[in-house]
Amino acid sequence: MRADPSRQRALLDLQTLDTTLGQLEHRQSTLAEHARVAELEAAISATESTLVHARTEHEDVRRELSKADADVQLVRDRAARDRQRLNAGTGNAKDLQGIQHELESLARRQDVLEEAELEVMERAEVAQSRVSATEDELARLVDDAQTVRAARDAATADIAGERGRVAADRDRLVEAVGPDLVALYDKIRARSGSGAAPLVARRCGGCQLELHTVDLGRIRAAEEDEVLRCEECGRILVRTEESGL
């Protein structure tokens, strides 16, 4: 293949732009925010299920508390009725003595039930504060995720802007290089990551290997517009002032 030396030099600029595009792509895919967002989303999902458990537990304890309240109330009502009967003074002495007995036993029963009620109340408080703490934690995580997503989107927009500028430069260079040479370059690039390299101080700038004397002789003898390839890596070898020929 033959191509004017200026087209060959433009190929090196094209390679520089493609390297930059590759770096931008790498920067985009390795943004620290990606990992952080994934981390926060996992934490949010874990905290959401913790919250479901905490709320269920709180509901259970509250039901238990209602029952404990009702138990205590039952005994109080019964005692109140007994006292009314006692105050009314109806019934014989034996009846009144029976009521007196029952009141004493109800008082003991009430003590026990109130003790139990207090214990359930304490557990309800603990369950409630667990729900509140988990709600706070969830809100904080959702906030953090929003902040990190915004940072990720801003960084992504920056990179996209830069990529757009480089891509526009690339379009112009592709025209300067010409379709035949670009096609060959793209084919090599798809295979080995880069398609063209300068010949610098008798070394291929792509694979960094020093050229054999025979190859150098061949390159020296070649016409200026002949498109050369590195014998080692196959890249298009572009002659420059630093080639050392």
Q: Is 188 in the site for Zn ion (CB under 5 A)?
A: no
- Closer to Zn ion by Cβ: residue 44 or 219: 219
- Closer to Zn ion by Cβ: residue 85 or 202: 202
- Write a three-state SS string for the chain: CECCHHHHHHHHHHHHHHHHHHHHHHHHHCCHHHHHHHHHHHHHHHHHHHHHHHHHHHHHHHHHHHHHHHHHHHHHHHHHHHHHHHHHCCCCHHHHHHHHHHHHHHHHHHHHHHHHHHHHHHHHHHHHHHHHHHHHHHHHHHHHHHHHHHHHHHHHHHHHHHHHHHHHHHHHHHHHHCHHHHHHHHHHHHHHCCCEEEEECCEECCCCCECCHHHHHHHHHCCCCECEECCCCCCEEEECHHHCC
Contact segment (CB under 5 A) with Zn ion among 9-17, 60-68, 172-180, 231-239 equals 231-239
Interface positions, 199-228, toward Zn ion (CB under 5 A): 204, 206-207
List, in sequence order, every residue forming a beta bridge with 166; answer none if it has no partner.
none
Q: Is 233 in the site for Zn ion (CB under 5 A)?
A: yes
Contact segment (CB under 5 A) with Zn ion among 9-17, 44-52, 166-174, 232-240 equals 232-240
- Closer to Zn ion by Cβ: residue 65 or 207: 207
- Closer to Zn ion by Cβ: residue 110 or 185: 185
List, in sequence order, every residue forming a beta bridge with 2; answer none if it has no partner.
226
Nearest distance in Å: CB 237, Zn ion: 7
Q: How far is CA 236 from the centre of its chain?
A: 42
Contact 8, 239 (CB under 8 A): yes
Q: Is 238 in the site for Zn ion (CB under 5 A)?
A: no
Q: Is 12 in the site for Zn ion (CB under 5 A)?
A: no
Nearest distance in Å: CB 202, Zn ion: 12
Q: Is 232 in the site for Zn ion (CB under 5 A)?
A: yes
Nearest distance in Å: CB 192, Zn ion: 9
Q: Which amino acid is at 36?
A: R
Nearest distance in Å: CB 222, Zn ion: 16
Contacts with Zn ion by CB under 5 A: the residue count is 6
Nearest distance in Å: CB 47, Zn ion: 55
Nearest distance in Å: CB 236, Zn ion: 10
Q: Note the residues at the interface with Zn ion (CB under 5 A).
A: 204, 206-207, 230, 232-233
